[in-house]
Amino acid sequence: MNRLNALDKRILNRLQEDIEFVATPWKAMAGDLGIAEQLLLERIKALKKKGIIRRISATFNTLKIGFASTLVAVKAAPSKVDQVAQRINAYKEVTHNYKRNARYNLWFTLVAKDKHSISRIIKQIKQDQTIDQLLDLPATKLFKIDVKFPL
Amino acid sequence: MLTRLDRKIIRVISQELPLEERPFKLLAAKIGIGEKMLLERVRFYKKNDILRKYAVALNHLKVGFRYNAMAAWNMPAKYVQEAGAIMASFPQVSHCYERKRGKDWNYNLYAMIHTRSKRGCLEAARAIAKKTDCKDYQLLFSTYEYKKSAAQL
């Protein structure tokens, strides 16, 4: 784990909230934090370089912009799970893909422009001979999306 | 309804916000509109819950949140609403969804739990089990991350 100093923690906590939708959002944020804009930008660049910050960007309610999504679970032979995961990763519609300690040992999420694309990709993945079984688990209700790591 | 221009804007602002004095001016130029109009659209998306968040995505492992578990619950339909709200109230829970049950997978409520220790995940799940009075669940720890990326819109 990387050591974060007190300023970095404050910056990262602030960055986990919306930026201000103004012409000079970094200046506004630096003002909130009581530091100079240049220092803020330098720290953010350093945190990016260390891989602590993946990106700063807008994320959308995929349903509201007409996209479809689902969670898929796969039972893959333990000796083949890496290979299966790599093949699944190749789809740009796959956003997350994790190995998990369960009888369904590979779990991934799909976000695509419509339901039809989702079905097509699942059908293709199912043809993989090393996959025993596959579950398509689309969400029927959202209770929460709020990824936050208090530092 | 979203126009073709909206789709273009959404694609562009899903990418990195430049670390420059006038970041929206640079993004607006990419889209071919003015800075003011871009800011107006962004505010509109936010107000209408189209834009969820304009914020950082952290590498949670590198900031010390080393454990994440997906808790899958077999929750009777009539309790789903209440249980979902309880799960959502836990700060350790980042995502909570009701989902279709699978053929040999009788779970319908899912909570993603992020903590600094394995014990923290176990304790959060136990606390949820107690509060929702539902003991039928599985805790699936992630043992390897093959991919984590933003949706390509």
Q: What is the CATH number of the domain that holds A122?
A: 3.30.70.3460
Which chain A residues contact residue B33 at CB under 8 A?
none
For residue A45, being part of any structural domain is answered with yes
The answer on B129 and B98 residing in a single domain is: yes
For residue B79, being part of any structural domain is answered with yes
The answer on B77 and B11 residing in a single domain is: no
The answer on B134 and B104 residing in a single domain is: yes
Domain that holds residue B39: 4-47
CA distance B110 to chain A (A): 9
For residue B31, being part of any structural domain is answered with yes
For residue B53, being part of any structural domain is answered with no
For residue B115, being part of any structural domain is answered with yes
How far out from the chain centre does Cα B125 lie? 18
How would you write the pLDDT of chain A (151 residues) with one tens digit per residue?
Answer: 567 999 999 999 999 999 999 999 999 999 999 999 999 999 999 999 999 999 999 999 988 888 999 999 999 998 999 999 999 999 999 999 999 999 999 999 999 999 999 999 999 999 887 888 999 999 999 999 988 899 9
For residue B27, being part of any structural domain is answered with yes
The residues near A90 (Cβ < 8 Å, ≥ 6 apart) are none
The answer on A81 and A41 residing in a single domain is: no
Q: Does B129 touch chain A (CB under 8 A)?
A: no
The predicted structure's pLDDT at residue A1:
52
Our CA angle for B142, B129, B123, nearest 5°, is 55
Q: What is the CATH number of the domain that holds B105?
A: 3.30.70.3460
How many domains would you assign to chain A?
Answer: 2
Domain that holds residue A132: 68-136
The residue behind tokens 């505010």 is B43
The predicted structure's pLDDT at residue B152:
82
Q: Is B1 exposed, middle or buried (0-12, 13-18, 19+ CB in 10 A)?
A: exposed
The answer on A119 and A73 residing in a single domain is: yes
How far is residue A24 from each of residues A12, A31, B15, measured CA to CA in Å? 18, 11, 18
For residue A146, being part of any structural domain is answered with no
What are the tens digits of pLDDT across the range A66-92? 899 999 999 999 899 999 999 999 999
The DSSP annotation for chain B comes to ---HHHHHHHHHHTSPPPSSSSHHHHHHHHHTS-HHHHHHHHHHHHHTTSEEEEEEEE-TTTTT--EEEEEEE---GGGHHHHHHHHHT-TTEEEEEEEPPBTTB---EEEEEEESSHHHHHHHHHHHHHHHT---EEEEEEEEEEEE-----
The residues near A119 (Cβ < 8 Å, ≥ 6 apart) are none
Of A41, A55, A100, the CB nearest to B141: A100
CA distance B128 to chain A (A): 15
How many domains would you assign to chain B?
Answer: 2
The answer on B81 and B17 residing in a single domain is: no
How far apart CA A24 and CA B25 sit, in angstroms, is 9
Pair of tokens at residue B47: 């107000």
